[in-house]
Structure 1
Amino acid sequence: MNTSVNKSVKKVVLAYSGGLDTSAIVPWLKENYDCDVIAFVADVGQGDEELEGVEAKAIASGASSCRVVDLKDKFAREVIYPTLKTGAIYEGQYLLGTALARPIIAEAQVMVARETGADALAHGCTGKGNDQVRFESAFAALAPELTVIAPWREWSMRSRPQLLAYLAERNIPCSASATKIYSRDANLWHISTEGGELEDPWCEPSEQVWTWTRSPEQAPDKPQYLELRFERGELTHLDQVSVAPVEAIQKLNVLGGDHGVGRLDMVENRLVGMKSRGCYETPAGTILYAALQGLESLVLDRSALDYRIRIGNEFAQLMYDGRWFTPLRDAMLAAAATIAEPLTGEVVVKLYKGQATVVQRRSPNSLYSSAFATFDEDEVYNQKHAEGFIRLYSLASRIRALHQGESK
């Protein structure tokens, strides 16, 4: 812990959750920077349980004020839906639940700092994780003039018991305990769980790891069918009822969770170089990605789909690495939106025992023709024409083989 007070900072806006870490950061900032602390809470759909009483907690910890900003609609419309069009999935599995929320949280935090005349920003990210990079990259792009304070890289405390003792010494109430097993992060899109038995990759997750989804074994024995309508790659109707983005995601999370859809147990490569294991639950995302891919298969030609897949892989890396506020993000989202222009139509997804399977799809922009694809006799395709196509398609191989024969 710092032994001398840093006088260069007068007012700090702290990204505050009400958990143990940020509860300790408030008094620590006041003691080590002799500054005013404004707690900033982003409502990104983590739920009422996490937000209940958060303002009172912040004031009790020593914050001069607490600002709660509702970002759910912005999160859904400006981040989730555009990202869905790219098909971004990190390392082929992770639907980027944590990474997606960070840009709008950081942007709103900067907004609060500007409105309150703060000269610094603070966060509770550890020095081992991805989030420190995501937040600070956003701060650098949006407000490079503001000082950034990362207490986990400065203070000497390293464990939950030390943080609890720090708060107890100052008579600051905290509902956290020293025996907390898991670290969780929730928002509108997903919930992640780390720690506990998950630190051993040979250990199967227990059922207490999962909070949003039933186990597939306990899911209903009868499947449920959902009809999703998309316009230009964005969901507009669920079972023929118009739905706004936030409402749609919330409903799909419940429906998918009931059927055990959206569970992921993954060992991933963090940006900072180490591997970590996490269990993710993203029911709505799993359903939406399945539905959009089903529509893409009907509407996009081969080259367009190949390019969309390339965008998806690259955009997943961009999001994971915290490069949202870059010109490259704008360019990639523009390309994905253009490719998604014909993605209008209906898709039926079957939810059953942990799976979300596309079973029906239709679109006015469909490139599928039963007249061409049929195995029966047709009048639109002369199979003899395939011979010339194959000779041209394999011409390079033919020339190579002839050349090798002549050289023997």
Structure 2
Amino acid sequence: MSNIKKVVLAYSGGLDTSAIVPWLKENYACEVVAFAADVGQGDAELEGLEEKALASGASECHIVDLKEAFVNDIIYPTITTGAVYEDDYLLGTSMARPIIAQAQVAVARKVGADALSHGCTGKGNDQVRFEGAFAALAPDLPVIAPWREWDMVSREDLLDYLASRNVQTSASATKIYSRDANAWHISHEGGELEEPWNAPTKQVWTMTVDPEDAPDKAEHVSLFFDKGRLTKVNGQHLSPYNVLVELNKIAAAHGVGRIDIVENRLVGMKSRGCYETPGGTLMMKGYKALECLVLDKAAFKHREQIGLEYAHVMYDGRYFTPLNDALLAGAASFAQLVTGEVVIKLYKGNAMVVQRQSPNSLYSEDFATFGADDVYDQSHAEGFIRLFSLSSRINYLNKQARKD
């Protein structure tokens, strides 16, 4: 560590990373290059970021536009796995970390840095996600994690540190909520949410309309998928990122996509968070509705197993691993069948699939009808049931033999 000359810091412009810039220079006597990724968190978070980084002591600031790549290369493939962490969480924060870490390494190579740094705390998941990616992509670059080294423990400590060095910040001593935003979602922690018995107040939610205040008239939205990729919304062709932007706008207006969960962090503790994923909720529902048409029972069961495993791979920061590649490849093979249109009805926080069609559909009205038909002889079911339950019959006979 004593030989470090140049560090690339994952920089957000918030209180923590504003303090990390001068801290790195003082404690490592190194040049600090700030790096920020635009993953669709909004212009408000990026405005003035370069000026702020330079004012705090960074020699350069690289802001990399990853919006389309984030949706196209990370979100779309993840949707094909059906991954949902602990039944509810659509992995919004987790999904952004691999592409951010990858871009940070690329900047480090470009500027000739000999170390990487981040502002993740020692209690969270993100330190594992970032450093797991760094280990896979740049194991030769040491990682500096100030929160695991310095003796500052509070926002007041950080504010005092910056004030003593004449570094300006818009942060205050009171930070009610901790939020993380990108094109897919926004997360909220802290404040009243730290007590699981407290219901979230209206101040928590920032992306979606309160379902109680949503329109009294339902809205229908059409989604068209082509081999697993959502290409059209209401008949309009859009790029992956713009698909998500459009669906966020539509679903948020109806209060769709809110969840409030207590989850198991990778580091062992539980945390309570509220998440808003309006457009993503529609994308996941639409995709699964088509899967139900085109995948047979065995295929769908296997895809469900992929989703269960992949949720942990993504959450735990194991994106750059052979297991990740194998699971995505398996899901991609099923995705080739997922072509068709889905219509979703939005109303007061609810999103219900009401129409679906696919050229690859396995559903046949002729087979499923309760009326008379020429394609299925119900008497054939007797032999099937007898064979299907054969092991149960044999088990019973064995039990009777043991009693005798």
TM-score category of the 2 structures, normalised to the smaller one: over 0.9
Q: Per-residue displacement from partner, 1:35-67 (whole Å, max 9, x unpaired)?
A: 000000110110000000000000010001100
The answer to whether structure 1 residue 170 and structure 2 residue 150 are counterparts is no
Which secondary structure does the structure 1 equivalent of 2:343 belong to? Answer: strand
Aligned identity (percent) is 66
The answer to whether structure 1 residue 294 and structure 2 residue 318 are counterparts is no
Distance 1:142 1:406 in 2: 63
Which residues of structure 1 form unaligned runs of 5+? Answer: 1-5
Residue aligning to 1:208: 203
Q: Select 1:140's aligned residue among 131, 135, 144.
A: 135
Offset, 1:400: 1.6
Q: How many residue pairs end up in the alignment?
A: 403
| Residue type at the aligned position of 1:26 | V
Residue aligning to 1:339: 334
Residue aligning to 1:3: none
Residue aligning to 1:360: 355
Offset, 1:402: 2.1
The 5-angstrom pairing of residues 271-310 of structure 1 reads: 271-310=266-305
Q: Per-residue displacement from partner, 1:9-58 (whole Å, max 9, x unpaired)?
A: 10000000000000000000000000000000110110000000000000
The answer to whether structure 1 residue 312 and structure 2 residue 290 are counterparts is no
Q: Select 2:222's aligned residue among 207, 223, 227.
A: 227
Which secondary structure does the structure 1 equivalent of 2:231 belong to? Answer: strand
The 5-angstrom pairing of residues 77-96 of structure 1 reads: 77-96=72-91
Which secondary structure does the structure 1 equivalent of 2:124 belong to? Answer: coil
Distance 1:406 1:134 in 2: 57
Which secondary structure does the structure 1 equivalent of 2:69 belong to? Answer: helix
Q: Select 1:15's aligned residue among 7, 10, 17.
A: 10
Residue aligning to 1:112: 107
The answer to whether structure 1 residue 161 and structure 2 residue 156 are counterparts is yes
Which secondary structure does the structure 1 equivalent of 2:113 belong to? Answer: coil
Residue aligning to 1:185: 180
Q: Per-residue displacement from partner, 1:61-103 (whole Å, max 9, x unpaired)?
A: 0001100000111101110000000001001110000000000
Offset, 1:403: 2.4
Offset, 1:406: 3.0
Which secondary structure does the structure 2 equivalent of 1:313 belong to? Answer: helix
Moved more, 20-29 or 396-405: 396-405
Offset, 1:404: 2.0
RMSD between superposed Cα atoms in Å: 0.7
Q: Select 1:48's aligned residue among 43, 56, 71.
A: 43
| Residue type at the aligned position of 2:190 | G
Which residues of structure 2 form unaligned runs of 5+? Answer: none
| Residue type at the aligned position of 2:82 | G
Distance 2:401 2:67 in 1: 69
Q: Per-residue displacement from partner, 1:281-303 (whole Å, max 9, x unpaired)?
A: 00111111111111111111000
Residue aligning to 2:318: 323
Residue aligning to 2:345: 350
The answer to whether structure 1 residue 395 and structure 2 residue 390 are counterparts is yes
Offset, 1:147: 1.2
Distance 2:237 2:17 in 1: 39
Residue aligning to 2:370: 375
Distance 2:272 2:400 in 1: 54
TM-score normalized by the length of structure 1: 0.98
Distance 1:324 1:405 in 2: 53
Q: Structure 1 segments of 4 or more deviating over 3 A?
A: none
Distance 2:119 2:110 in 1: 22
Distance 2:387 2:73 in 1: 46
Residue aligning to 2:240: 245
Q: Per-residue displacement from partner, 1:317-338 (whole Å, max 9, x unpaired)?
A: 0000000001111111111000
Residue aligning to 2:23: 28
Distance 2:331 2:399 in 1: 44
Distance 2:274 2:402 in 1: 58
Residue aligning to 2:262: 267
Distance 1:403 1:45 in 2: 63
Distance 1:285 1:166 in 2: 40
Distance 2:60 2:260 in 1: 39
The answer to whether structure 1 residue 58 and structure 2 residue 53 are counterparts is yes
